[in-house]
Amino acid sequence: MKKLCFSILLILIINSLSFGQEIITNLQFNPSLEVRDAKIVPTKSSKSQKYIPLKLPFIDDFSTGGVFPDSSRWIDNYAYINTDFPKFPISIGVATMDALNDTGAVYAHGSQYPFIADHLTSKPIRLDSIFGGTPHAVTVQDSIFISFFFQPKGYGNAPEKNDSLTLEFLYYTGDSVFSYTDTVYTSVDLIIKTDSNNLKAGDTIFLHCYNVWVAVNNVIDLGDDTLYPSDFLWLPCDSIFVPKTRWRWAWSSEGMRLDTFLARNNDYWFKQVIVQIDDTVFFDKYFQFRFRNYASLGVNELPSWQSNVDQWHIDYIYLDHNRSPRDTVYEDFTFIERPPSLLKNYEEMPYRQFKSNPQEEMRDTFYILQANLDIAAHQYAYKYEVFDESGSSIFLYPGAAGSSCNINPFFTYGYKPCGEQGCPNACPPFDFTIPINSGDSAIFKIEHIIIESSLNWIRSNDTISHIQKFYNYYAYDDGSAEAGYGLTPAGSQLAYRFQLNEMDTLRAIQIYFNRTLTAANQQYFEMMVWNDNNGIPGNVKYLSNPLVRPEFGDSLNKFHTYYLDEMIIIDDGEFPGLVFYVGMKQKTDDNLNIGYDMRHDAAKNTFFNTSGIWENSAYNGALMIRPALGADINPDKKQEKNTESDQLDIYPNPAVAGMINVEIPFKYTVNYSDNDFTTRIYTIFGSLVYENVYKKETDIYALRKGMYIIEVTNNINKQVFKNKLVIAL
């Protein structure tokens, strides 16, 4: 059924391409994870891994920050810790499980049928003893329960019905299984039993581990090699056995749409699950639990649609004794989401433009969503504090008095609009004037803190902060992509509206592009700038020449800067009302896959034209496109352009394992020999996998299937040429 549905969807997509449309796709790579080449942690016995078991209680609400699970509680890095993808979590931060591995790429074994994707595995936990009060061995009467909250989709993609999220418990069977063979590194002169001073096939050697003499042929194959007393070699020693373990299913949920989930969950955004651990087989010193999700990709006829899918979000995990099925409330005040920007219209803006009219640009009220997770209303106190770039406090709200109020229990009243939570501090005013300096940039930190609370079970969720930057660009987005945006067909235009407070100079356009599985979005486009025509893009004021194409930053969520060939003065003459639009015109039908922030809505400022008529975007999100203004931001004139003339020519591309041709543009090879150049090949995550003197024919036999960056550097003048290579098989 799922394959049929995707086939129908594919037909609809193909048929619609000729009519023009906006496209929202899921991420094919997670930029928050791709900067780290993380090692896979094996799920073998915890006893053999020498973990120190934790003691009860086990609590994690994922509010401590970072993109990977807290290593003091978890043993793997597959879940993504974030505040971007969940909608209205129980507390700030969740663990998201999806179809991406721990390096941020779609699982290589992924398919259109459900496959095991992420794991979230706890460290060993002492479920053999109770240490508080009167220490004793665990029994069923100790009433041990584990609880957690979960949500499908959020701001991501809904898992299909055949997909699932599961909870499993680990137990030890009492048997042992072979794990690996231990080895010893030893000198030849310590093991040889011959009259000669060397070791060769047919000789007899001494094995320390077993205290026996054996023929070398029975232990290691030397072939025709000869080893001498100064040589060292590895010899097999002990066979290592570990306790045999099994994972037992404890709970699962089938995939579903978010609206279906809400209807089944009385409109609560997260559902709480509580499971008793009452089988004595789990009362072990090395008990573990884990979450796993089953995901499924779409069909692969259109590469842009085969991307990250099936998000599940897990929050507020609590494992302890002396609980019951009714133990579902917690003595905790918590923030729910990260705090907003200080600005009313943008997330960030140029400092010069802000200084021209600060009162008009500042928001007057913070909407700070908080929750009382207990069963009764409680009094608490709240403050926010503003710090300058040096770390000095420059404002404190609400000061010494007037900060206390009551908040009603969340599980009874839910999330209430501003002013209806029984506490005005849920919507504190921002009546502080940001100090202005004479510089061209500024940065401030705003910290929100729950203080003087009688409920402080988890302290890390009582403080949230926001860094407010005033640099040289405008941004509607927060710098994090939850999806991708594109247009089709060829000739489609995309425009993003901005308005200045005073005349300024447009120097560059910064764009964040999502990576795609097979570099499907590596297509040329024209950058464009328009003036305003009664609320829609008007006359074209800039058209890039030559063409450009998507480029990717080399660090976390880094935008690529496309410098304009000529500066553009934004004034009232050419740009009435100081309104301008930046964007692009496509040359192909392909989805360029621009980063799309689903948490902020800039639809009223997003315009597309696929048929000769400008329309507002139908999607509520923010494009990750930022105009950069002010003084010359590229004084050395080192353009970051990607033109056809200064790139490596690589063929065949896509390639298969074997030989490829890598050619430097001829005009750059005059007066230089091949020995003056060095070839380096990197993974898309920045890991160097090949380095050698440049040769036109390059052997890629040892490289796996995937996408790579090939760079050739002139060692004399340090000029760098590069291009992308896709290895298909």
Residues 523 and 465 in one domain: no
Query: Rounded to whole angstroms, what are the CA distances from 593 to 10, 314, 365, 446, 602?
Result: 18, 28, 34, 33, 17
Q: What ranges in 624-722 are assigned the alpha helix state H?
A: none
pLDDT of residue 305: 45
Higher pLDDT, 639 or 132: 132
Residues 324 and 342 in one domain: no
How much is the average pLDDT of 41-46? 34
Residues 319 and 387 in one domain: no
Q: Are 168 and 245 in contact (CB under 8 A)?
A: no
Residues 162 and 205 in one domain: yes
Structural domain includes residue 437: yes
Q: Are 312 and 157 in contact (CB under 8 A)?
A: no
Residue 5 pLDDT exceeds 70: no
Residues 174 and 276 in one domain: yes
| C-alpha span between 646 and 572 (Å, rounded) | 38
| C-alpha span between 385 and 446 (Å, rounded) | 6
b/e burial code for range 628-667 (CB count within 10 A of at least 16 → b): bbbeeeeeeeeeebbeeebebebeebebeeeebebebeee
Q: The CATH number of the domain where 369 resides is what?
A: 2.60.40
Residues 390 and 520 in one domain: no
pLDDT of residue 8: 29
What pTM did the predictor assign? 0.73
Q: Are 634 and 508 in contact (CB under 8 A)?
A: yes
pLDDT of residue 25: 66
Domain limits at 429?
338-470
Structural domain includes residue 636: no
499: confidence class by pLDDT, cuts 50, 70, 90 = very high
Structural domain includes residue 65: yes
- pLDDT tens digits, one per residue of 270-282: 999 999 999 999 9
Answer with the one of 283, 311, 330 that is the final residue of a domain.
330
Task: Could you list the beta-strand ranges (E) of 551-605.
Answer: 560-570, 579-586, 594-597
| C-alpha span between 478 and 488 (Å, rounded) | 26
Backbone angles phi, psi at 201, to 5 degrees: -55, 135
- pLDDT tens digits, one per residue of 630-639: 877 664 444 4
What SS3 state is found at 163? coil
Q: Can you say how many angstroms the Cα of residue 172 is from the centroid of all Cα atoms in its chain? A: 34
Residue 370 pLDDT exceeds 90: no
Answer with the one of 274, 304, 330 that is the final residue of a domain.
330
Average pLDDT, the chain: 83
Q: Are 529 and 541 in contact (CB under 8 A)?
A: yes
Structural domain includes residue 21: no
For residue 460, the tally of other CB atoms under 10 A from its CB is 17
What SS3 state is found at 239? strand
Residues 283 and 394 in one domain: no
Structural domain includes residue 23: no
Residues 6+ apart with CB under 8 A from 670: none
- pLDDT tens digits, one per residue of 638-685: 444 444 446 888 888 888 777 888 989 877 887 788 888 999 998 866
pLDDT of residue 672: 84
Residues 383 and 326 in one domain: no
Q: State the residue for tokens 């016995």.
A: 45
For β-strands 370-372 and 333-335, DSSP reports them as antiparallel
pLDDT of residue 193: 65
Query: Rounded to whole angstroms, what are the CA distances from 425 to 54, 397, 467?
Result: 38, 10, 21
Closest CA to 14 of 296, 209, 301, 276: 301
For β-strands 483-488 and 21-25, DSSP reports them as antiparallel
Residue 605 pLDDT exceeds 60: yes
184's tokens: 């010893």
Residues 704 and 720 in one domain: yes
Angle at CA 551, nearest 5°, toward 514 and 528? 95
pLDDT of residue 317: 97
How much is the average pLDDT of 399-420? 69
Structural domain includes residue 637: no
Q: The CATH number of the domain where 284 resides is what?
A: 2.60.120.260
Structural domain includes residue 716: yes
Residues 198 and 257 in one domain: yes
Residues 490 and 558 in one domain: yes
Structural domain includes residue 696: yes
Q: Are 599 and 481 in contact (CB under 8 A)?
A: no
Q: Can you say how many angstroms the Cα of residue 124 is from the centroid of all Cα atoms in its chain? A: 27
Domain count, the chain: 4
Answer with the one of 441, 470, 499 that is the final residue of a domain.
470
CA-based Rg of the chain, rounded to a whole angstrom?
A: 30
Residues 50 and 143 in one domain: yes
